[in-house]
Amino acid sequence: MSSVQSGDLERWERRLHLGAHPVLYPLIRGLGYRRRVQRIPGLGILVSEAGLLREVLMDNERFVKQGPSASGGLWTPVVGPKALLNMDGAAHLEMRRRLGGAFTAHSVAGIVEPAAARLREQLAGELPAGRRVDVVGAVKELSGGVIARILGLAEDAPGRLPDRELYDLGSSITSLVRLGRHQLTPAQTAKARAAVERLAGPARKAYRSGAPETFPGRLRALGMSEQEAVGVVSAFVIVGTETLVSFIPRIVAVLADAGRLPALAADRAALPAAVNEGLRFTVPSPMMLRDAVGSGTLGGVRFRAGDRLLLSTVHAAKSLGGFDPERTVPPHARQLWFGAGPHFCIGMPLAMAQINSTLESLLDLYAQQPWQIVSRRVKRRVLIPGYDTLELANER
C-alpha cells in the first residue's frame, strides 16, 4: 500500500483507535463531542474540553494522581510508593526538583545517542540497499537501547539482554493495563512486579557502584535513596515505552500521508512545528486519570470524593481540527498530551530526543533517495493506539 492522500489522515487515526479500543473508543468518542463533562456509569467522569482538562491537571488539591483508581494508584503496587508518577504534594515537588538535574541537554544526549547511532546505521544499511524497513521494529530497538542506558547497563555487561528484549520486558508491564480496569488483578500485579524486578537488578547495581556516568548513579548523586532511584527508573521504563513506540511510526505515517516529506527533507526549519502538530493530531497519551478527593462542580457536573476522572486529551486535541503544522494552538490546549502543572512530563526532553533523532535519520535518507510507506498494519486491543508494522522502502 503506497502513501495515502491527506484526506485519509483522519481515517487512519480512527482505524488506530478502533483497533486499540473497538468498544470503548466509539462510545467515548461519541459522548465526548456532545458534552464537556459527563458521568459514564462504571467508568467515571469524562472530561473532554481542553480548558476544563487543564483546570483538573493544575488543581492538585481537589484532583490527585495517587488515588486508588487514578494512574498513580494503579502503579504503586508494582513500583512502590516513590516513583514520581504516583506521587502528589510536597514530596512529589521535591523529587521533581532533584530530578531536574538528570535531564539536561548533555544528560539526555548521553542516554539517547548510542541507541540513535545504531538506528541510523540500521536505516542506512537497509533502505539504500533496496530492503524494507519496519519503523515499528526499528523504534522498539531504539527504545530498548534507551532503556538499557536508563538502567545503567553497559554495552558489554555480562548477560545483558538485547535491546529488543529489554523493550519487550518493559512492554509486558504496560500491556496489562486497560482503560476500563481500575486496578490490576493480583496475578497481573505479580507478573508486573516480576518484570520490574528483572529491570531493577541492573539499576541497583549501577546505583550501588555510584558511577556518575550512569543514570542510576546520577540519581544517587542527586540525593535519592536506592528505593527512590529504582522507583524512578522503573517509572520511566513503564511510562515512556509504549507511548514513544506508538508515536514515532504514527508521525512518520502522518508526514508521509500529508505530503510533507519532500519539503522537510530539503529544509528542517519546519520540523519542530510539524512534530508538535503531530503530537496534537495523534495524541499519544489519549487519556489521563485522576481521582477526586473532595466534592464540587466541574463543567456543571457534580463530583464527589472518590470519583474517577477520565481526562480525554484525544477529544481536547482533536476538536481543534485536522493536521496543520501552521496552526496556532490556543494556550489552554498547548502540550496537554504531556500533561500540565506539577505533573507535566519531566521526561519530555528524553522523548523529544528520540523522536527528533529518528525523524532526522529518515529525512536524511529521504533527501538522498525518496522512500514511501509500502505496508502498514494496525495494532489490536492495546492501551495506546499504534501500528503493529509500518514498512518503508525506497521509491522505484
CATH of the domain at 248: 1.10.630.10
- How high is the pLDDT of residue 178? 67
Residue 396, CB-side half-sphere exposure with 13 Å CA sphere: 7
- How high is the pLDDT of residue 4? 46
Q: Which three cell numbers stand for residue 83?
A: 516513583
Write down the pTM of the prediction.
Answer: 0.92
Q: Which three cell numbers stand for residue 134?
A: 519496519
Rounded to an integer, the average pLDDT of 334-341 is: 90
Q: What percent of the chain has pLDDT over 70?
A: 96
- The tally of domains found in the chain comes to 1
pLDDT in tens, 2-36: 344 556 788 898 899 889 888 877 777 777 667 89
Tell me whether residue 110 is in a domain.
Answer: yes
- How high is the pLDDT of residue 142? 96
Tell me whether residue 274 is in a domain.
Answer: yes
Count Cβ atoms below 10 Å from residue 284 Cβ, excluding itself: 24
Q: What is the mean pLDDT of the chain?
A: 89
Rounded to an integer, the average pLDDT of 240-264 is: 93
Tell me whether residue 189 is in a domain.
Answer: yes
Tell me whether residue 341 is in a domain.
Answer: yes
Between the alpha carbon of residue 234 and those of residues 141, 163, 202, 241, 307, the distances in Å are: 18, 16, 11, 11, 28
Helix (H) or strand (E) holding 158: none
Tell me whether residue 1 is in a domain.
Answer: no
How do strand 308-311 and strand 44-47 relate by DSSP bridges?
Answer: parallel
Tell me whether residue 123 is in a domain.
Answer: yes
Any idea which of 38-52, 175-189, 216-230 has the lowest mean pLDDT?
175-189
pLDDT in tens, 47-105: 999 999 999 999 989 999 887 777 777 778 888 888 887 888 888 888 888 888 788 88
- Alpha carbon distance 290, 38 (integer Å): 15
- How high is the pLDDT of residue 124? 96
Domain range for 197 is 6-394
